[in-house]
């Protein structure tokens, strides 16, 4: 990865990543695969340990604008429907908000959901988003390490991560049954739908990576603000996470709930 960040190497064909991650790519008869070195294992292990330490400074989700956003505004900007639901009683005229658990420390997930819901008016809907490992995998085995890479603290950072809008180790632990159990225990709430949004998420990440490459104005502004290494790092991690989703190593869930 460091060679990519420094510009010595480049990941050009991001659409090949799913096949490469699954170990199914062959070039001139040679099978291509990834192997993680001990430095990456140590980095991931240290990060996971530190992620489980008590966090005294953590703020309620209602005080964190990246945790509570207006999903209707996002939908209008993207030109796409933010979420789908099969419930005929779902009131789309009411405000809809989104809470991304990828940014919430694991030990604060339950309290974050409850506090976010308590700040909403009755009839308001909340879309709980989170990423998870697709299937159970042993701690720090090769697939676990590959899945952890997008969520590690950025080496170079950017204007987004400098504001502490950073992802946590939640995707490595949280499962859909566990998330639904936590949500079900919240008072005065109804679960309307559960959606696998992995493909939509992957395409969005790929589109953003391509914008960083081909949009001259965006590329110039990003590099001026954050540096060329951060630009390369961000591109790589966007493509990597998209590849993990397409390879079905990771899965992205949207859970729509309504405050009664």
97, 120 Cβ separation under 8 angstroms = yes
How many domains, the chain? 1
Mean of per-residue pLDDT scores for the chain: 80
Tell me which of 120 and 26 has the higher pLDDT: 120
Residue 185: phi, psi to the nearest 5?
-80, -10
Q: What phi and psi, each to the nearest 5 degrees, are found at residue 101? A: -70, -15
pLDDT band at 6 (very low <50, low <70, confident <90, very high): confident
Domain that holds residue 230: 2-259
DSSP state of 260: -
H/E element, 207: helix 198-214
119-163 residue pLDDT tens: 888 888 899 999 999 877 777 788 899 999 999 998 886 655 555
Structure token pair of residue 233: 């790092």
Q: How far apart are CA 148 and CA 256, in angstroms?
A: 26
Most confidently predicted of 9-23, 59-73, 95-109, 148-162: 95-109
pLDDT band at 67 (very low <50, low <70, confident <90, very high): very low
More confident of the two residues 165 and 73 = 165
Residue 158 confidence (pLDDT)? 61
The residues, ordered by sequence, that sit 6+ positions from 107 with a Cβ below 8 Å of its Cβ are 52, 54, 55
Quote the CA–CA distance of 127 and 254 in Å, as a whole number: 6
CATH of the domain at 144: 3.40.50
- The pLDDT, as a whole number, for residue 62 is 45
Q: Note the pLDDT of residue 164.
A: 52
Could you tell me if residue 123 is left (phi over 0), alpha (psi between -120 and 50 degrees) or otherwise beta? left
Per residue in 90-121, pLDDT tens? 444 456 788 999 999 888 899 888 888 888 88
């Amino acid at each position: 990865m460091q060679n990519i960040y420094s510009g010595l190497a480049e990941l050009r064909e991001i659409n090949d990543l799913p096949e490469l991650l699954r170990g199914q790519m062959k070039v001139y008869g040679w099978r291509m695969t990834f192997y993680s070195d001990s430095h990456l294992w140590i980095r991931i292990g240290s990060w996971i340990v530190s992620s489980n330490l008590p966090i005294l400074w953590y703020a309620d989700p209602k005080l964190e604008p990246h945790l509570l956003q207006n999903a209707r505004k996002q939908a209008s900007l993207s030109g796409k429907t933010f979420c789908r639901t099969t419930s005929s009683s779902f009131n789309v005229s009411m405000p809809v908000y989104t809470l991304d658990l990828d940014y919430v420390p694991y030990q604060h997930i339950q309290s974050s959901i409850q506090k976010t819901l308590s700040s909403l008016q009755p009839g308001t809907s909340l879309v709980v988003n989170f990423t998870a490992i697709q299937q159970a995998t042993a701690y720090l085995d090769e697939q676990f390490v590959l899945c952890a890479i997008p969520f590690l603290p950025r080496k170079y950072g950017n204007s987004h991560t400098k504001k502490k809008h950073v992802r946590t180790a939640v995707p490595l632990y949280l499962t859909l049954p566990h998330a639904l159990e936590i949500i079900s225990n919240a008072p005065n709430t109804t679960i309307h739908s559960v959606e696998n949004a992995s493909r939509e998420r992957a395409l969005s990440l790929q589109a953003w990576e391509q914008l960083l490459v081909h949009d001259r104005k965006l590329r110039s502004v990003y590099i001026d603000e954050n540096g060329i290494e951060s630009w390369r790092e961000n591109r790589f991690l966007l493509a990597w996470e998209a590849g993990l989703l397409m390879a079905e190593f990771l899965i992205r869930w949207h859970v729509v709930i309504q405050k009664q």
